[in-house]
Amino acid sequence: MEEIRNVIEMKNVTKDYGDFKLDNISISVPEGSVCGLIGQNGAGKTTTIKLLLDVVGADQGEIFLFGEAIKKGSAKLREEIGVVFDDMGFHEFMTGKDINIMMKNVYHNWEESVFFDYLKKFSLPVKKKCGDFSRGMRMKLQIAVALSHHARLLVMDEPTSGLDPIVRNEILQIFREYMVEEDHTILLSTHIISDLEKLADEIVFINGGRIILSGNKDEILETHGRLKCKKEEVDQIDRSLIVNIQPGIFGMELLVNDRKACQKRYPDLVLDQASLEDIMLFYVNQKEEADAERR
């Protein structure tokens, strides 16, 4: 069986801006997977993507794309990467025809016919200035560009933020179709957790410039749970199983990191499956409480 390689590898990467520090992060994204980079605004998601794309340089650590260090192969590697940012990135006076002319001179693998087919598929007018596009149309335009030079890796920063549910679902379907090809990979930064529950294979949860939790999405959901109990019962729960504790409507709610162990040890207590959003909120509150204690 052929070994699955990592398309993205970040090893002990640090970037210190003074008022914010991305602190010694390591990320691996296997080929053929969708990796969700989640966290609050200001957690470090965009900085991570900028480092990956060599927009800013790391103070420490190593970054590899397709097995090559980005400094050594950056120009060649850009051919393999499609980028979709929150901002459109094109001058607002440009039309689809203008963008096609420009991109032919940027990417060796650019296919004009593929680009115009995507514009048609996404119902994007060819002659209309992209500055007059809606937010959803602007996202689709960026995706059309990314897919028209046969990128094997899509790197996206909040591509569905601010979109209505119908357009968001449409864009997620585009990503699903892209992933039909087994050598295609997506790194998706977002704070819309429901999108990742539908799409992601891997999760990297970053908070305050540090990775709090990472791994296979299904395994993370399988191992975590929400344990409900009375306030006086909390002290009976093994502390090593507890991520954090929050007041509930009828008592206390605990995020636990080993659902099977809790089911076995506390069969009389209510134990529900935790969502990704539950997990993120409990871990964020855990860090905030720890930081407050240190202060």
pTM for the predicted model, two decimal places: 0.87
Per-residue model confidence as pLDDT tens digits over 234-275: 999 999 999 999 998 888 999 999 999 999 999 999 999 999
**Is there a contact between 155 and 70 (Cβ–Cβ < 8 Å)?**
no
**Is there a contact between 71 and 238 (Cβ–Cβ < 8 Å)?**
no
User: Any idea how long the chain is?
Assistant: 295
pLDDT of residue 37: 93
In degrees, rounded to 5, the angle at the alpha carbon of residue 30 between the alpha carbons of residues 41 and 86 is: 30
- Residue tagged 């009375």 (tokens): 230
Give backbone dihedrals phi and psi of 181, rounded to 5 degrees, phi first: -75, 125
Instruction: Give the burial string for 190-211 (b: 16+ CB within 10 Å, else e).
Output: bbbbebbeebbbbbbbbbbbbb
Per-residue model confidence as pLDDT tens digits over 100-119: 999 999 888 899 999 999 99
For 149: left if phi > 0, alpha if psi spans -120 to 50, otherwise beta; the answer is alpha
Asked if the model's pLDDT at residue 295 lies above 80, the reply is no
How many CB atoms are located within 10 Å of the residue 20 CB? 14
Q: Domain 6-214 belongs to what architecture?
A: 3-Layer(aba) Sandwich (3.40)
